[in-house]
Amino acid sequence: MFDNKSPNYPDILGYITGDERLTNGVIQAALATNTRVIPAGQTFALLLLLQNLSDVNVEVKATLQVPAQDAKRQKGRLIPESPSAHVTVAPAEVGYLVLPVDTLPDTAHALYTFGMTLEVEPLAKPRRIRQTDSKGGVNLNYYFYLSWQTIERLLKLKNLAFSGGKGLLGGYLETTITIDPPRGKASVAAPKSGWNRLWALDQNSDARPLLERYGTDLRTQILPALKDAPLVKLFGNAIGERVKSTGYAIKSAEAYFIARLCQEVIDRSRRKLPNFHEPEERTDYVAAVLAEPWPTDGTPIPLPNWCRALLGMISEDERVLARPAEALAGSLLNDVIRDAVRVGFQSIKAASRRNLGTAAEIHIYSDYLVNRLNQQEKAIELVDLYLPLVLGGIVIADNIPLPDVKHFEKLKQIGHRVQDEAFNRNADTALSFDVIDDVMEWALRRYTGWQ
């Protein structure tokens, strides 16, 4: 049974601006300069703060209105880097657009007003999912894993004088800046143009709006389309190329078992939640999550990394619905590997009876391993590749039988590879090689029938 009450995300824009805002459709905006006073000859920036009230992408075009002349009627003294800017604001996203403006050294000392018009176009039928005012305050803990960098940005932005365009009609904002006589040394660092995200629906936030929009597609179209044998082939090819790019001469059996672990991650999404499972395992069983009521207080819905990333990709381009497997083995492979690391360690623990780390430690290690696989300067080490990807794949390989696969031959290939690398065993790698030995012995005892 589904709880259909919509989430209502807190008002970050209002928290920053003290409720100064212009509402234009499903976009709220406020405008400020990064400094109130600047010497002539230096560069300042207009900061356009935007908040998406809806669960769809919204295209925003901002056009500057810059004074054509200065207080001495000199033309061309205030020069924007660009007269306009476009940004696509993601569902529920909050961020700010930086638009630098150069001043010439002979610009007259005065107070200048800058205007900005906004054109707003939702890219699908929008549904409001965010509060429209900040009464009662904002609990920043609601946003879960906000980085310190983001918190620092929020606090710096809160100190600026934002204008919400009160009393003005349509999508128009104004702000002011005082230009002083020139000085010898820059007092404000030249700002960089571009879009800066503060918060949006992602892996650290509530996925409910994306699930409400695409949950039926996920259950009836995407999950049934993710067939086991094609997935193993796609993952095997992608993993093989990724590992080769680091300089490691990967064997076909190694790529196969890693692919089996990745396929296990996806296959769990279709299964019922086991009666006996570790708490963190619940994340993998997407079908079970879809069958339950969802929290409405912003508590993150437990979904694997690959599923959250896939939903986000679909929200940007619904053509992904037709080819989800290619997306998972392509641009979303890092997300699949992060989930495979967690499932791999769970599987190794069951086979070796060794506890190899806490959930937090495994999360950190998954980031390390993904970064390691994306580096091409140095070959990845065997122990990194085996713990937990290859070994995890060996443990779960019989969960779903695949036709015409000679598992015992692949296991022997793994054994030969480990023997060839035994000379690398030292004090730092001893535990890793012990775990490899444990899993290989477990597999040989259990799978004598593979031959």
SS3 of 215-264: the string is HHHHHHHHHHHCCHHHHHHHHHHHHHHHHHCCCCCCCHHHHHHHHHHHHH
Domain stop point among 179, 199, 219: 199
- How confident is the model over 192-226, as pLDDT tens digits? 999 999 887 765 566 777 787 788 888 888 998 89
Q: Tell me, yes or no, whether 180 and 213 share the same domain.
A: no
Residue 445 pLDDT > 50: yes
4 lies in a domain?
A: no
Assigned domain for 93 exists: yes
Q: Do 224 and 78 have their domain in common?
A: no
Does one domain contain both 129 and 262?
no
Residue 183 lies in a domain: yes
Judgement on whether residues 224 and 183 belong to the same structural domain of the protein: no
Structural domain total, the chain? 2
Question: Is 266 inside a domain boundary?
Answer: yes
CATH of residue 106's domain is 2.60.40.10
Same domain, 33 and 181: yes
Are 98 and 25 part of one and the same domain?
A: yes
- Neighbouring C-beta atoms of residue 184, cutoff 10 Å: 6
Residue 91: inside a domain: yes
User: 108: domain range?
Assistant: 12-199
Q: How far is CA 358 from the centre of its chain?
A: 23
Residue 231 lies in a domain: yes
81-91 pLDDT, tens digit each: 999 999 999 88
Q: Strands 37-39 and 172-180: what pairing?
A: parallel
The pLDDT score that the predictor gives to residue 433 is: 87
pLDDT at 40 over 50: yes
Of 199, 223, 254, the residue at which a domain comes to its end is: 199
One domain, residues 66 and 130: yes
The overall average pLDDT reported for the chain is 84
Look up tokens 């060794």; give the residue: 354
Predicted TM-score (pTM) above 0.75: no
State the alpha helices, DSSP H only, in 353-390: 359-373, 382-385
- How are beta strands 172-180 and 110-122 bridged, if at all? antiparallel
Environment class of 262 (CB within 10 Å of its CB; exposed 0-12, middle 13-18, buried 19+): buried
The answer on 42 and 163 residing in a single domain is yes
E strand or H helix at 415: helix 407-420
Question: Is position 6 within any domain?
Answer: no
Identity at 167, one-letter amino acid code:
G
| 107, 176: one domain | yes
Write down which residue in 145, 172, 199 finishes a domain: 199
Residues 312-357 pLDDT 10s: 888 778 888 889 999 999 999 999 999 999 999 989 988 888 888 8
